Amino acid sequence: MLQGIRVVELATYVAGPGAAALLADWGAEVIKVEAPGGDPIRGFYASVGRDDAENRVFENDNRSKRSIMLDLSKPEDAEVLRRLLATADVFVTNTRPQSLERLGISWERLKAIKPDLIIANFTGYGPVGEDADKPGFDITAFWARSGLCWLTTVKGGEPAQLRTGIGDHMSAMGLAAGIMAALFHRERTGEGQKLETSLLRMGVYAGSSEHSVQLQLGKLASPRPRAEAQNPLNNFFKTADDQWFVAVPRQGVDDWPRFAAVIGRTYLVDDPRFDSIRARRANGPEVVALLDAAFGQMSWAEARAALTREKLVFSPVLSVGQTTQDAQALAAGCYVDVADDAGETIRVPASPIDFGVPRPPLRRAPALDADGAAIRAELDLAAADSAG
């Protein structure tokens, strides 16, 4: 869909490159500008003490791109970047505004020479405010600062770590959506746009239902242990064969009779301790204990059949390893095979949206500066121009 759109990416790690990777999946040409040594995420495995030659973490967010290495401390390489941006439709960056100004590629300067350019600037904490210039990772800005970590920490418990790239990838999707809206606006008006977003902003949006409750009521219930859940039916349970699953009662419907039928205790429907949402909340530990005992005597196959029969909303809790083999995840297109020049493929997670047009062939992530000479030639620059 984005054939003919050129994206220049001056970004590192995950969120910015992830957004550009989505655009590449949708057909855009993405040129990744890397400093000498490359994007630090190329060294992901080395940073955790491994020496794996393959790096699917990098592949995931950099497939189907081209790479050019530029030392932007050199005036001649900074000029190459400026020349490259003059050919671009979209510029994705997580570079601080002061650095962009120093390089001569601030929004004001680029707008003057290319009014239809779309600049998507992604930061940790936003472009203004006392922390605007602080570096931010998803675990700091998206997870900890936004309230999301608090929302998932049981009262009195220790905060949980955020695993690799989760906030970044949610943010990448949002950034890509903003870019698509700006491209649509440009299609109608011919005008470029400057997009600003941040990990903090994306984190607050991800938790915006809970933030809405806080803003309305001025308070928010702390996360509680299972036995003390606000709604004891909205909970996790474990079967006799150690399979955890989550059940979710529907809004606006009293699913208690269905739960009672699942565990074979329909007589509990009219029990005054459990016959209303308020009663079940007041007697939450008893409800959870009843369900724990009942599901603890069922196999997962039996529980799944009963939950399905009663048309309840539920899902097993799978490990990542199980999800990569899950029949529904595979049927839903959650993974994709990406080929190198020799036709050998590796499997990586797919981008999360399909369209009614064929997906462009996906290529492996480029080696550092793999396309540097070709890109310089396209810009009518000799490779020797940056040598020295």
| Domains of the chain in sequence order | 6-209+333-386 (3.40.50.10540), 226-319 (3.30.1540.10)
Burial 115-147 (b: 16+ CB within 10 A, else e): eebbbbbbbbbbeeeebeeeebbbbbbbbbbbb
Greater model confidence, 254 or 15? 15
Task: In whole angstroms, give the CA distance from residue 297 to residue 57.
Answer: 41
Residue-by-residue DSSP string for 202-236 = HHHHHTHHHHHHHHHHS--PPP--GGG-SSTTSEE
pLDDT for 388 equals: 44
Phi, psi of 143 (to 5 degrees): -90, -55
- Is residue 11 predicted with pLDDT exceeding 50? yes
Report the DSSP pairing between strands 90-93 and 118-123.
Answer: parallel
- For residues 315 and 293, the answer to whether their CB atoms sit within 8 Å is no
Mean pLDDT of 376-383: 80
Tokens of 135: 């570096």
Q: Detail the DSSP E strand segments found in the chain.
A: 6-10, 29-34, 65-69, 90-93, 118-123, 193-198, 235-238, 244-248, 313-316, 335-339, 345-349
Vertex 319 angle, CA 169 and 142, to 5°: 30
pTM over 0.75: yes
Question: Which positions are catalytic?
Answer: 168
- For residues 62 and 365, the answer to whether their CB atoms sit within 8 Å is yes
Helix (H, G, I), strand (E, B) or coil at 183: helix
Greater model confidence, 51 or 283? 283
How many residues are recorded in the chain?
A: 388
- Is residue 263 predicted with pLDDT exceeding 70? yes
Q: How far is CA 373 from CA 6, 11, 279, 367, in A?
A: 18, 20, 71, 13
Which amino acid would we find at residue 213?
Answer: V
Q: Which residues contact 22 (CB under 8 A, 6 or more apart)?
A: 172, 173, 176, 351
pLDDT for 251 equals: 79
* β-bridge partners, 31: 8, 66
pLDDT for 386 equals: 43
pLDDT in tens, 72-112: 999 999 999 999 999 999 999 998 888 889 899 999 999 99
pLDDT for 47 equals: 84
Task: In whole angstroms, give the CA distance from residue 40 to residue 47.
Answer: 9
Reported as a pLDDT band with limits 50, 70 and 90, residue 322 is very high
Tokens of 231: 């709604």
Mean pLDDT of 160-189: 96
- Helix and strand totals (H; E) in the chain: 17, 11
* β-bridge partners, 36: none
Helix (H, G, I), strand (E, B) or coil at 163: coil
CA 157 to chain centre: 26
- For residues 183 and 118, the answer to whether their CB atoms sit within 8 Å is yes
